Chain A
Amino acid sequence: MTDAWAVETVDLKKSYGDTEALRGLDLQVPRGSLCGLLGRNGAGKTTTLKVLLGMTRPTSGAARVLGLAADNRSDSVRIRQRTGFVSEDKDLYDAMTVDEIVRFAASLYPTWRKDVEDRYRRAFELPHHRRVQELSRGTRTKLALLLALSRGAELLVLDEPTSGLDPAATEEVLQALVSHVASDEVTVLLSSHHLPHIEQVADRVVIVDGGKAVVAGPLEDLRESYRRIQLVFADAAPQPTLRASGAIRSERRGRVLTVVCRSGLDQVLAELRPLNAVAVEVMPMSLKEIFFESVNGER
């Protein structure tokens, strides 16, 4: 395990009684990247993030954040000194006012950045004396984000930061994240099921399904290696058994054969060439398509 990773987990497992939330998750997030953690509900995203923050103890396996052990009590305090967190429910003290909770948070971080706090107070238009429980969902999310961003943290761990936000608020939130990654050498790990948002700002993606990481890597690499190949035949399309390891699925409908290829396009094409298709198209795949090919269940 090296310190080049801002976050690293090795074979992370977590069971709650009979339920296995994580079944051996391997995750690496390099420093300075903006990494999207994707997966359906219940795939294990929130559990993973909670393990990283020391809120939940793993059943087995290792988790390291900024080089420190996430399941060690004193290391975990040190991790939290350098990490900003936003929970899925944007959990905050409802009875405090905006001012009170900001001052409370500021008192706990010697690295608190007043300039960042001021910037986002203005940009997010947060009302000083309104109680947290009276804020709209979007404003509450922005407040949670301000508290995380102003900590002067090296790592931001955000659970669904854009869920429930209108397009304008979403754009503001994403813009804040992009700005921080660019200027402050911050690493961002955010979980989401809004694929377009991730596609827009992430440079790295991890897809979690059934408690494991099924896809991981730089987003550009994924987009360059996933291809959908569509072959049209004069008569009924064949259903070949493809041996190339990069072909993950093939589907035949009438005269059209579709092959989804995850890597090694050339080998797959080499196997398809002898089939003598009438027309062939090789198309790139969006993150949404890549996601659906990677997780089990209904489309």
Chain B
Amino acid sequence: MPWQKSWLDTRWRFVIPLLVLVLNVWGLLFEYPRVAELLRTVQLQPDALSETGALGRAILESVSAERTYRGYVWYQWFRNNLSQLGTLMAVLLGSGNLLSGSTGAGTLFTLSLPRSRDAWVAARAAVGLGELLILIAIPSLEIVLVSPLIGQSYALSDAAVQVVCAFGVCAAFFSLAVLLSTIFVDTWRPFLIAGGSAVIVSLVESQLALNGPFRVMSGATYFAGGVVPWVGLTISAAIAIGLLYSAAFNLSRQDF
């Protein structure tokens, strides 16, 4: 079945990052006690910091958030690590020719099989998004389960909302990589272009202090005031769906 092929093509890109993320969380959590102690000794000048631009703002945000455990988890994991790694994983899972096997050969074999070209796009989307969701959810769930081991607790509801926010936006980057994969035959160009675009968007967003996709991804409004960024997530979902449809349309018009 087509999903089997998508799974076989991407399984290592899924398993290894999953291990990396799980270990990353583990390390993060066990560092908390030392960080907490360090932060108690830090004094900040908020006004002076805000005036120094993006870096200053980041330091301010970081220190003020990390004074609590919930804030530490939010800042280090959801806002930083997961956002970066999650976007990277999304783009990686979405890249790569949809019709060929993992070595690049086999396109005509795929096209000779009794499935429509749409089916192959759907299989890549379903498997890739499934893998992406697991990559985001499992480490985040790990936080809830492991926190008691360091004498802390993290709410499952918090983790769930953050996972939805991260997944919602990462899915759009995944879909961008999929569309690019129907334009370029190799794996590298979709990855680099989609990844590059993500980097540019994130830089612009942080430099100009905009309320952009990465802010939605990190669930900042939820962390700060319990407000789920529904508008941002809806737009993201619409973009993801639009990009996937474009990918299917593009593929259906090609000659091989």
A contact set with B: CB distance below 8 Å: 16, 50, 53-57, 73-74, 76-78, 80-81, 83, 85, 87, 89, 91-96, 100, 104-105, 107-109, 133
Contact = CB atoms under 8 A, between A and B. Distances in A.
Interface string B107-119: 1110111111100
A54 B111 contact: yes
Contacts of B113: 80, 105, 108
A107 B100 CA distance: 18
A95 B11 CA distance: 13
B114 A92 contact: no
7 contacts: A54-B111, A87-B112, A91-B107, A93-B109, A95-B8, A107-B1, A109-B114
B252 A91 contact: no
A83 B111 CA distance: 12
Contacts of A105: 113
A56 B105 contact: no
A133 B102 CA distance: 12
Nearest to B255: A56
Interface string B91-110: 00000000011110111110
Contacts of A91: 105-109
Interface of B: 1, 4-5, 8, 100-103, 105-109, 111-117, 252, 255-256
A57 B101 contact: no
A53 B114 CA distance: 10
Contacts of B115: 77, 80, 108
B111 A81 contact: no
Contact of B109 (A83, A92, A100): A92
A89 B256 CA distance: 13
A49 to B, nearest CB: 10
A95 B256 contact: no
Question: Which of B100, B103, B107, B108 lies at the interface centre, i.e. has the most chain A CB atoms within 10 A of its CB?
Answer: B108
A246 to B, nearest CB: 40
Contacts of A109: 114
A53 B111 contact: yes
Contact of B114 (A56, A81, A87, A94): A81
Contacts of B103: 93-95, 133
Nearest to A107: B1
Nearest to A96: B101
Contact of B256 (A55, A108, A133): A55
B101 A95 contact: yes
Given A56-B255, A73-B252, A107-B1, A92 B105 contact: yes
Nearest to A16: B255
Nearest to A94: B103
Contact of A107 (B4, B102, B109, B252): B4
Contacts of B102: 93, 95
